[in-house]
Amino acid sequence: MQNFAKWLTRGCEFIAAMILAAIFIIFLLQIFARYTSKIAWLIPIEQLSNWMLTIEPIGWTINLISLLWVWLIFFGCSFVVRERDHVTFDNNLDTLYDRVVEDYRSCTEKKMREAMNFVRDEHTYVNRLNDLLKL
């Protein structure tokens, strides 16, 4: 049974590696198609240079790369990454939640003090302004 599981794991890793290789090859194809017509003047062979001038950028490559990337993520998380290697947030979230609540309370308390000081200072400023206007 362990032999079959090992064989299956190797097969899944091979499929993931092939998807990555396909992404890389399609990416290189996209770069080649995009820049060949721009560097065709550097090629001394006229037939090759003329052929390179006729190449147009390929539009579907970025869509295929994106699709393969998404499938690689789904496939990798489902079959290649083991259960204990997945990122979990439940323990971290509890400690983060307590810290955020504490920071929010202290920030709110600080802002309330600042607002009360501003109102007090504003009241003092208005009184001084009224005193100056009376002069």
Q: What is the pLDDT of residues 36-75, one digit of tens each?
A: 877 777 778 888 888 888 888 888 888 999 999 999 888 8
Q: In total, how many domains does the chain have?
A: 2
Q: Please calculate the CA angle 16-20-21 and round it to the nearest 5 degrees.
A: 115
Q: Tell me, yes or no, whether 6 and 54 share the same domain.
A: yes
pLDDT digits (tens, 9 = 90+) for 15-41: 889 999 999 999 999 998 888 877 777
Q: What is the pTM of this model?
A: 0.55
75 and 96 in a single domain? The answer is no
Mark whether 105 and 39 lie in a shared domain.
no
Q: Are residues 15 and 80 in the same domain?
A: yes
Same domain, 83 and 129: no
| Neighbour-count burial of 61, counting CB atoms closer than 10 A to its CB (0-12 exposed, 13-18 middle, 19+ buried) | middle
Asked whether residue 69 falls in the same domain as residue 134, the answer is no
Q: Are residues 59 and 115 in the same domain?
A: no
